[in-house]
Structure 1
């Protein structure tokens, strides 16, 4: 039995969502009416427990003996520390709001009990990751998160695209998980443990090269779960699930697991490993930002934005500051959840009353001018969008400023080439401001393009939907994280252990100027006759426009992403021209060599044998002719022999 006072909260935090999952799953459709309220209530109770037992001054560990093999004892251990406290609050809080929102958004679905049961399983898995004190325990719940996300993304299993998206997410995550498991096994081999407390004492004995390899393998888990290059293709397609599920996955649970993992193992990452992490994060950040510029689906724009922001968090860890990565994770959880819920409100408002209407409620080209019909949704979307764009007075400005500052401080020690990374971060922030301004204009301003469809009657969402949106929007303001709206080093960053590394006064000025320039460039697009080429674009031309190397998405028939196709295409060329060419040359010269060897064999080898046989046969025939029984022949032979003997003696 564990000898910790935190045994009870550990059991409650894990047990409540799991029991809720079992009750809702086994209860069937009879629980549809109350499933949402029960699920939201259980999550709220978990939030209260997390707040009640929050201890930011100490580390509390709960251990359960699991099994023994030889001299090795394996335990299931759970950890309560500052990182756990922050994540537990964020996960429970966002999940509770999402489930409250879902009670209205999913109203009328025939399988509500299954929907909320899957969310509870998802929460159980995520809470297990947050509480894990060892990589082994984390991996167990890591796989459960993959399973539950598969179930949620494919919730509408009667839709082929939803099933395909769920399968794609599952398969791509398995690739990252394989690398994660490899790193865990390597650590266990070299240290005999996967507990974080033990690893901090034993990693000094590991060869730096091997430790780098271990760190990169563990980072592979983050690449899968947090949709980093080259395993990022599943995240935009996960939009096929219900919109509240998208908010849950993108804000505080599944994709946050990878960043949480990096924060936990930051002490394991060598300088070389962190450099690779920085490069991968940079590629992902730019890829997501560029893709968001061309997307027309309201949820897909936000999905690409999540890719970009996750890349930014990974870069922060590469800079050696997991605290600023966690800071941005928290702020991002609030404003990105608010954006997805607001997007769901828009979709809910423009869904046609006539199911036969050929109208896509997620296509921003069919929207416009909705701010008059959806005033609350517009305010919530605008506030959360401003936070994502990094405008002053909003939380995203503070967390991005902290990362950019860390980047320049890191570059000053790394060398001149290191400044490329924080400069790219500022550039990416400008792209974010541009595509968010584009999205807000396409949805809420300009011509009311939805009026071309008679069955579209936009209306504001009910209070149970807009209240969570409003609360998340309020939490996207600056004063929750810092008293000074222009200084990221407020109470929250100090609370999670951020050090006084220095404040560069010009960073917020440059970042703000870049953001405003990007908004101005987007504003210039408003003045065109066809802003953002709405009328000229079609879904076919959209696909054609984004087919730029590895930036292209896969079709429904593929589970892997464009980087693999890009690499495979050139490997095919290499195989055809180099490998096959080399084999053809070897084969051709082999045939020529075989003919030459056959000729030598026929002329010299077989010729020599035949000559020997002929000579022996001829000599035998000559002797046979002499030995013919005639005296004169013997006489001639004797005389010749005597003559040759005399000749021999005379010569020698």
Structure 2
């Protein structure tokens, strides 16, 4: 395909969702809800078709650049690129977005704000495409912030719910922490290299870690992970799009872009953070009661797996797991939405026995959950083996504490099987607690995307040999090397952990409500409580202190100065009225009196003149004598 044709296609590709966002935003609810959904689906379907055409036309990476901002001798370019990673993510973003929007037409039916909902989805898709196609750090950062805005709008879509409003604010603020560090990293990169382009030379460890902080916040890594489970307050299709397949994957895309720029020490920190996140997310998912929160923490854990793979130098394994995870996790969230739609609750304790009432949803859920747990013949097994094998090879080369990384990732893999088996037991086995509940399968607009994602979670689509990813065409298409296979004991050990974890999840009784272990898991390690004590409470105390100081000291000083000024003005007014005005008025009155006296003397009467002359003579004689 000629470069000019690809340029035109990519321009249309990037512009379509923004046109859709503006159009649907302007129309709002002036058109029927089915029309809003149809327009959004049509635009995304066109984008998916163009993405597939571009992905199929494998060629050399393309780069477009023009001067954008220039000041004080510094020029920053407007830059976009199309390479193997861009081609992959274009298909993933459009594919998942299309299925989510089809699903949303039925799921959101009857909502009073259906127009803005699809407008926000289109805005999000456009922002994600900008991240995927960005040719330098500055352009990526601009779209990065736009993704944050779109996610805020979608998480808080039901803003009349206080919990949704709080969740949106929390996500926005926690992401700003990472974004501030990300921006600082961009500035340090420019200072060190004189450019904001993606480079191949390692930066200083500080600059690399600042860039990585953007990933920590956006991809919910430890310690900035507590916003993701709260973000489940948004509509379930939003959870599938933002927090399973695309938005949280933006951090992994960023890591893939900057990986050659990270020093060895920075990559070690990345591996450690990813491992800690995988374990923390897995433990936090164990005893959750909300069906979506279990999936949210599983997303946190799987993102930790991808980040750890990046830290161990296994870029190909991280991106492979990103691709498989997009399918089975989006399928799980959409299937969870079908369950919630059927039973009108997210509490798994109120469910049970749904495998008979929702057979299609049950089948899709089992396949996607098994893929997430890493059951052989499914996509999750293939990608996890690549990640775990790379971690074992990396640790073996370094020895010592480096072995904690593959050990931690193996434990998190076992925890995945435990909490997914527990979820399947609570939702689909046993008996429903509400005898009056009559659940039923949703329509095909909701059922179809779930079943398709379950089919895409089968391993054969990703590798000719469903037991090994080393024969997958993915790596050749991505121009990435396949890392050496791990030791022969790794796959049997991984399968054994899945089997044992699944057995435990099915067999273990629910702990008591006051169990310390269950409470620690339910409150995700008390991270929010820790933040409350370390940051929120001191900040509030400082704010209250400053408020009181402002009221008593600053306001007191200002008010006292004002009162003193008013008092001084009254005194000056009194002096002016009694003193200055009194003298002036007295002189005037004296002059008037003298004038009146003189006028009376000059009355034309001889007697008055004689009397006056006599009085004057007598006064002069008295004065002289």
- Shorter-chain TM-score: what band? 0.7 to 0.9
Q: Secondary structure at the match of 2:277?
A: helix
Given the superposition, is the C-alpha separation of residues 545 and 44 from structure 1 closer, same or farther in structure 2, using an over 3 Å criterion? same
Given the superposition, is the C-alpha separation of residues 542 and 474 from structure 1 closer, same or farther in structure 2, using an over 3 Å criterion? farther
Match of 2:441 in 1: 460
Match of 1:620 in 2: none
Match of 2:452 in 1: 471
Please point out which of 470, 489, 497 is paired with 2:479. Answer: 497
CA distance in 1, matches of 2:389, 2:538: 41
Q: C-alpha offsets along residues 185-212 of structure 1, whole Å, 9 cap, x if unaligned?
A: 111112121112xx33xx36x6xxxx21
Q: Mapping of 1:283-298 within 5 angstroms?
A: 283-298=276-291
Q: Mapping of 1:263-274 within 5 angstroms?
A: 263-274=256-267
Matched, 1:509 2:492: yes
CA distance in 2, matches of 1:73, 1:568: 39
Q: Mapping of 1:3-402 within 5 angstroms?
A: 5-31=5-31, 32-54=33-55, 55-196=57-198, 199-200=199-200, 203=201, 211-351=204-344, 361-402=345-386
Q: C-alpha offsets along residues 508-544 of structure 1, whole Å, 9 cap, x if unaligned?
A: 111001111111222322xxxxx324xx54xxx5899
Q: Secondary structure at the match of 2:248?
A: helix
Ranges in structure 1 where 5+ consecutive residues have no aligned partner: 352-360, 526-530, 555-560, 573-652
Comparing 120-129 and 409-418, the one that deviates more: 409-418
CA distance in 2, matches of 1:396, 1:290: 19
Match of 1:412 in 2: 396
Q: CA deviation at 1:492?
A: 1.5
RMSD: 2.1
Matched, 1:487 2:474: no
CA distance in 2, matches of 1:62, 1:5: 13
Q: CA deviation at 1:414?
A: 1.1
Match of 2:615 in 1: none
Q: Secondary structure at the match of 2:376?
A: coil
Ranges in structure 2 where 5+ consecutive residues have no aligned partner: 540-625
Please point out which of 531, 534, 542 is paired with 1:564. Answer: 531
Q: C-alpha offsets along residues 353-397 of structure 1, whole Å, 9 cap, x if unaligned?
A: xxxxxxxx0000010000100000000000000000000010000
Given the superposition, is the C-alpha separation of residues 542 and 4 from structure 1 closer, same or farther in structure 2, using an over 3 Å criterion? farther
CA distance in 1, matches of 2:530, 2:53: 46
Match of 1:546 in 2: 519
Q: CA deviation at 1:72?
A: 2.7
Q: Secondary structure at the match of 1:449?
A: coil
Q: Secondary structure at the match of 1:483?
A: coil
Q: Secondary structure at the match of 1:30?
A: coil
Q: Secondary structure at the match of 1:255?
A: coil
CA distance in 2, matches of 1:488, 1:339: 23
Match of 1:444 in 2: 428
Q: C-alpha offsets along residues 551-594 of structure 1, whole Å, 9 cap, x if unaligned?
A: 4457xxxxxx345346569999xxxxxxxxxxxxxxxxxxxxxx
Please point out which of 389, 413, 420 is paired with 1:429. Answer: 413
CA distance in 1, matches of 2:28, 2:391: 52
CA distance in 2, matches of 1:15, 1:238: 28
Is residue 250–residue 336 contact of structure 1 (8 Å, CA) maintained in 2? no
CA distance in 1, matches of 2:523, 2:179: 22
CA distance in 2, matches of 1:270, 1:57: 30
Q: CA deviation at 1:477?
A: 0.4
Is residue 14–residue 129 contact of structure 2 (8 Å, CA) maintained in 1? yes
Q: CA deviation at 1:67?
A: 2.3
CA distance in 2, matches of 1:314, 1:476: 21
Q: CA deviation at 1:546?
A: 2.5
Is residue 102–residue 445 contact of structure 2 (8 Å, CA) maintained in 1? yes
Q: CA deviation at 1:499?
A: 1.9
Q: C-alpha offsets along residues 250-288 of structure 1, whole Å, 9 cap, x if unaligned?
A: 222210000110011000111100110111111111111
Given the superposition, is the C-alpha separation of residues 515 and 108 from structure 1 closer, same or farther in structure 2, using an over 3 Å criterion? same
Is residue 155–residue 241 contact of structure 1 (8 Å, CA) maintained in 2? yes
TM-score by length of 2: 0.82
Is residue 348–residue 427 contact of structure 2 (8 Å, CA) maintained in 1? yes
Q: CA deviation at 1:400?
A: 0.4
Is residue 287–residue 522 contact of structure 2 (8 Å, CA) maintained in 1? no
Q: CA deviation at 1:249?
A: 1.0
Given the superposition, is the C-alpha separation of residues 542 and 380 from structure 1 closer, same or farther in structure 2, using an over 3 Å criterion? farther
Comparing 331-340 and 37-46, the one that deviates more: 37-46
